[in-house]
Amino acid sequence: VQLVESGGGLVQTGESLTLSCATSGFSLDDYVIGWFRQAPGKQREGVVCFSKSDNATFYPDSVKGRFTISNDVAGNTVYLKMDNLKPEDTAVYYCAADFLRAPASHYCSSDGYLFDHWGKGTQVTVSS
């Protein structure tokens, strides 16, 4: 299983950014995918978790309505579209994957300990 994030950068408040996670070594049909973020000095936070087999997507209140997860037709790339970005969204964003063992909401409500596979992350900085 390999996960490679890209698309991070510096944007201004209110702008949008789309992150990509190139995946290999597994099928989205069997795995749960998550995007997490970690700001300096803060605990890692799940921002979306998606299970294709359950057709279930979980967003925490902090990003609900602003962040959207999607994937390409081939199922090899997962995207995180982030709209109306705020300075508090500044963090390193990580893509994670795990063989589906629990509801998607359980994966996101943790600090990510349920996930076995992680990318190296991409930095998102939102200036005020």
The separation between CA 120 and the C-alpha centre of its own chain, rounded to angstroms, equals: 12
Which strand (E) or helix (H) includes residue 68? strand 67-71
What was the pLDDT predicted at 110?
Answer: 77
Pick out the chain residues at pLDDT < 50: none
What was the pLDDT predicted at 52?
Answer: 87
Which strand (E) or helix (H) includes residue 107? helix 104-109
In this predicted model, what pLDDT tens digit does every residue of 100-124 receive, in sequence order? 998 888 898 878 999 999 999 999 9
